Structure 1
């Protein structure tokens, strides 16, 4: 029999405004402590320098965190041209400098267009990707660089919002992209193409899947509620997990079908006309979990919540 986790048995998604200077994991740990939650996890790492939308899942919501990990993301970032760092962001050491005063807004827009659509991107050495079980950043800190395979990513939007010319020119860009995209690599590759080098000075995630920065809550606000022991106020900030899955089709099951599906059995549903992943709701409209539509109009459970 497994050991019961300590803490409150709560479920839902918190949209944290991750502060700068923290890893995503450390921010999640603080949230878990503030909520005194039995179980928590985050949904995709942000660089310590980065701020913005970090969905933190509690309880049963952690079962579905992969869907937010796989979701598209959007960012606003400041690129500095004429200065290259070893981490491709402002936290690293400057390793090369160049005069970027000839850079113009027109030229920048022209080169940015080359990076829209389906592209190949080499992950940076200072990343959480693992080689033989070790994060690449651990190797990078020891001065070890290994060959990385380019990976396909999709850049849906890449727009220049503001340009400031100079020896170290600055550009504010907005990017909407597929999972696994490194904004630092976008900056570095753009700077390399322009021949002056570049790095990320600021980075903010403004959307993750269906969630935007309009709904985020800071650690300071959470701590104030915790200091007041206002757990009810904290809990009202949690979003039902099904809101993260609104892009999936939904199936509502009758009482009998819902019962057998909870037992792990595939059930017939006349509305299940095409194969694929679906959200499942019982006859009272309560979220049950994720299912898979089979070719024969049956639905089988894939991942169900336990507290029903």
Structure 2
């Protein structure tokens, strides 16, 4: 069995818990997830099975969409509702126009500092392990992430609900902290649901309870059907062996013009329609070549 299952992860489970559940209940050894979703968050968690695990790295890189609720007036050490309150600030009702104005500042590339309670490693140790032990945490390096869209869904002070479309690696808890700071107050994240991960959305996800009762074949997305936002390139059967062996293939061995796809990853099929894997178009000495990135045969 090879492919991807779009799982609706419940709150209270780690991503690894979901993998273990599927491995045990479906009796499949090769199972992996596509990027950690906080234990206290719910939502879309694509699970890779069999050869589908080779696609994990590509799915992780795709955009994510979240629905988040934040509450003004308090902050916690974990930046969500599960942590200890670290600050309380009396805050008057914030005008809706002011909130929208501040949210506009967070569009595009931004620099954010991840939470102390996160899976990021410093000196080989995950931050949340140090935080739970009360160990001193050195300055956490900031990172650049991209916010493609952020908009208000509902607002009734002190609660604000927003939808966020962002790049991989974005910490919504940090975003909540920074939005509140720009509004001159503090806040914590009270709810987080991932509604989309790449081409996987919450409307087409299935729960863990459904795993045992549903027709798994119907819910398993095959490797070749996953678009990944990539263009398709067709290779001639005469060049297939060279491609499989890691050789660079020029236009002579291809049925697709690869010139528009330089420096891009593409899905590769042979001329019989067989999916061969993910390739990369590179330029070398003024000529473009196809090189395999991940093989699936």
Does residue 155 of structure 2 align to residue 158 of structure 1? no
Instruction: Find the partner of 2:218 among 219, 230, 236.
Output: 236
The Cα shift of 1:286 comes to 2.0
Quick one: distance in 2 between partners of 1:83 and 1:58? 42
Does residue 240 of structure 2 align to residue 258 of structure 1? yes
The Cα shift of 1:297 comes to 3.7
The Cα shift of 1:102 comes to 2.4
TM-score by length of 2: 0.92
Does residue 164 of structure 2 align to residue 172 of structure 1? no
Does residue 104 of structure 2 align to residue 117 of structure 1? no
Does residue 9 of structure 2 align to residue 18 of structure 1? yes
Instruction: Find the partner of 1:200 among 189, 192, 201.
Output: 189
Instruction: Find the partner of 2:141 among 106, 125, 149.
Output: 149
Does residue 281 of structure 2 align to residue 290 of structure 1? no
Partner residue of 1:230? none
Instruction: Find the partner of 1:53 among 44, 48, 57.
Output: 44
Any conservation in 1 of the 2:70–2:159 contact (CA below 8 Å)?
Answer: yes
Larger mean CA deviation between 41-50 and 297-306 belongs to: 297-306
Report the 3-state secondary structure (helix = DSSP H, G, I; strand = E; otherwise coil) of the residue aligned with 2:164: strand
Quick one: distance in 1 between partners of 2:225 and 2:115? 33
Q: Which aligned runs of 4 or more in structure 1 are off by greater than 3 angstroms?
A: 242-246
TM-score by length of 1: 0.89
Partner residue of 1:130? 121
Larger mean CA deviation between 11-20 and 265-274 belongs to: 265-274
Instruction: Find the partner of 2:54 among 57, 60, 63.
Output: 63
Quick one: distance in 2 between partners of 1:45 and 1:62? 15
Any gaps of 5 or more consecutive residues in structure 2?
Answer: none
The Cα shift of 1:126 comes to 0.5
Report the 3-state secondary structure (helix = DSSP H, G, I; strand = E; otherwise coil) of the residue aligned with 2:193: strand
Instruction: Find the partner of 1:88 among 65, 79, 82.
Output: 79
Q: After superposition, give the CA deviation of every residue in 1:273-294 in whole Å (9 maximum; x if it has no partner).
A: 2422221011221211011223
Report the 3-state secondary structure (helix = DSSP H, G, I; strand = E; otherwise coil) of the residue aligned with 1:29: helix
Partner residue of 2:262? 275
Q: After superposition, give the CA deviation of every residue in 1:47-88 in whole Å (9 maximum; x if it has no partner).
A: 111111101111111112111111111100101111111100
The Cα shift of 1:236 comes to 2.5
Any conservation in 1 of the 2:198–2:228 contact (CA below 8 Å)?
Answer: no
Aligned residues: 287
Q: After superposition, give the CA deviation of every residue in 1:148-205 in whole Å (9 maximum; x if it has no partner).
A: 111111111010110012xxx0011000011111000011111222232111111001
Report the 3-state secondary structure (helix = DSSP H, G, I; strand = E; otherwise coil) of the residue aligned with 2:190: strand
Report the 3-state secondary structure (helix = DSSP H, G, I; strand = E; otherwise coil) of the residue aligned with 2:139: coil
Q: After superposition, give the CA deviation of every residue in 1:228-247 in whole Å (9 maximum; x if it has no partner).
A: xxxxx223211123444441
Any conservation in 1 of the 2:58–2:228 contact (CA below 8 Å)?
Answer: no
Instruction: Find the partner of 2:213 among 224, 227, 231.
Output: 224
Q: CA RMSD in A?
A: 1.6
Partner residue of 1:228? none
Quick one: distance in 2 between partners of 1:13 and 1:300? 25
